[in-house]
Structure 1
Amino acid sequence: MTVNGVLAELNGLASAPLWNPERDEVLVCRQVIDETHDVKTFVFSAPQARRFCYLPGQFMTFSLPCGPSGEEINRSYTLSSAPTRPDRVSITVKRVEKGPVSNWLHDTLQPGMEVKVAGPAGEFTCADSSSKKFLFLSGGSGITPMMSMSRTLMDLGGEADVVFLHSARSPDDLIFARELALMEQRWSGFRASTVCESDTPSVRWTGLRGRLVAPMLPLIAPDFLEREVYVCGPAPYMTAVRTLLADSGFDMTRHHEESFDFATLMQGELEDAFAAPEPGETTYKVNFTKSRREIECGADTNILSAARAEGMRVPASCGKGLCGTCKCKLVSGTVEMKHEGGIRQREVDMGMILICCSKPTSDVVIER
């Protein structure tokens, strides 16, 4: 495209309608960027001009045709892009060994291809914070919401005071390293540091080494007890940070965390699945038309939990109404559903439910 063409596109975007999560559901891949040996950023826009409005730290749920027989699998990815640049959104994805979604994205998705999405959604964001001093702690691919927040705060004039501490396995696994260094040069209130667990054959790491431990925080942010802290990373990392902060006397009301470790999110659901209804608890019949199964479900139990307690294999990922994997048609009956963005209102109006966060309020029939 010529320079004039680009300028015309930008001028058109200024008056373009906002992306509407209730109506818009297709994104077009525009660019694929190699970040590290096993991490790529995928940049998207809408098929027609749209301006994306979201909060830094929010996620979108992607429905991708990467199942064993080509069926769609849903996965939620935090946006690494900044809402201050409304013409594009991007996700940054690490390849996971035997992971059907991440491998499909890395091996198959190319510029020009379309994908189905839902969102943006999510409550992990610094946008509603009144603080001017932040500490961003990330591990591995948990860096993505922190980059969205950092990019946004920088675009808004860089008035915030941000300390960004990222933990990685090795120098070869450093995501956004050059951009973080450039942000540090251009933004006086921004300081970025990295902790690496080990060297690589070609690079000897000379910075902080090992895993994040309590003595490192005062070195990086002497005033960390005064900051608003945002944390994202693998479950063990998040647990370690919570313990570290609490033991340091940090006010945990100023601690915020996010994780898309689906195995962890589902753990509570799996434990609930084998809990018998309480004595005297009201129960309802749940009939699955395609599976030809009928189960009993307590009024205080999510339908997915009851189904798994009966040995049913029901596709699900997040267990809390985020991803939409367990979406089903409610043929008859009523439920109480409390989701977190994994289903559109128009889908609810059409009779769809997420059984991971739906409790029966009558006998129900579900198309599954």
Structure 2
Amino acid sequence: MRPFEYHVPTRLLVGSGQLEALSSLVPGGKKILCIYAGASAQASGALDAVRAALSGREYIEHFGVRANPTIEDADPITESARSFGAEFILAVGGGSVIDLAKFVAATVRAEEDSFTLLTRGKKPESPLPVGAVVTRAGTGSESNGIAAMSSARTAQKLVYIHPGTVPRFAILDPALLRSLPRPALARGIADAFVHVLEQTATYPTEDIVQQHLAEALLKSLLSVGEELIRDQVKDSTLTNFLWASSLAQGGLVSTGTPEDWATHFIGHELTALLGIEHADTLTYVLPVVYQARFEKKKERLAQLGARVFELQGEPEEVAQLTLARIVSFFRDLGLPTKLHELSLTDAQIQRIVAGLKSARRLRLGERLDLGLPEIEALLRAASRG
């Protein structure tokens, strides 16, 4: 196990009825900027609850955050926050809303423009504090300092990291997920599942605590997914989903361990290029990457097969069956898994590779041995079916 430091300052309130604590969590006497996606805030009941909790306080609201937000979306919100003199940001939504809120929190007091912050990773001092009310689970954005933001100017989707933007609190109340349509739940489950895989499906290590934590989360997410597939979703299902997805990307699974975020980074380029839903890019890309990297991953895949899927047999066979079971799980959730169905052209594949190069993602994989020529080759091969 590699030496590590672990600190997550987010106060997580998980379970039924936790939304009632919102009023006491938002600091008093502060000007508050509330950021929402839109109709989902109304449908979930979050909008009415937030307004009731903030009764008598000074706040402004911004609606209409879309999936895969851009810095161009963030800029007018940042200006509104500055004009209003916002001192606290409350994000009410899923990963896109929370990511945008964290990015705005960093840019409000920045001297640089948003494009410079995103592309050069600048970290202004004293970002605004952020709180989150989660109405769509899967990303785990409520307990980390990571924001995935796009630039319409350059057609890039990049990762912005600032430890100071980690939310001070997050409310994970299953009541707020009851109104979500099935595809939204399915995509969230897949997103969280891939988060865990990318932190554990590398090669065998002696990090047994992180290994078993990852395996427990994968089994939990499989159970949540199976309840969704059987149309047996209950509040307990949603609570387990919220908790698992937050743990999946809260920094605990990856402490001291090798990681492989190739699927995510290639997926980001697909989103930037084609506007595809984030989770769909993951279920398109992961089977391709893992099959191409099978020889390097097969030992850990065999372990996961035995421990998570309870498969038996020769290690290589179990490893292949494990990958097949993962892909089957995605399909059962109703998500796409065949990259060739996108009919990517050579020009589009070249743009994906160019995007990775521009983002300085020159070598990916747990051993940093997946270079741009290899990525281009595996995308071309997969696109031919």
TM tier, shorter chain? 0.3 to 0.5
Query: Scaled by the length of structure 2, what TM-score is found?
Result: 0.31
Higher strand share: 1
Greater C-alpha Rg: 1
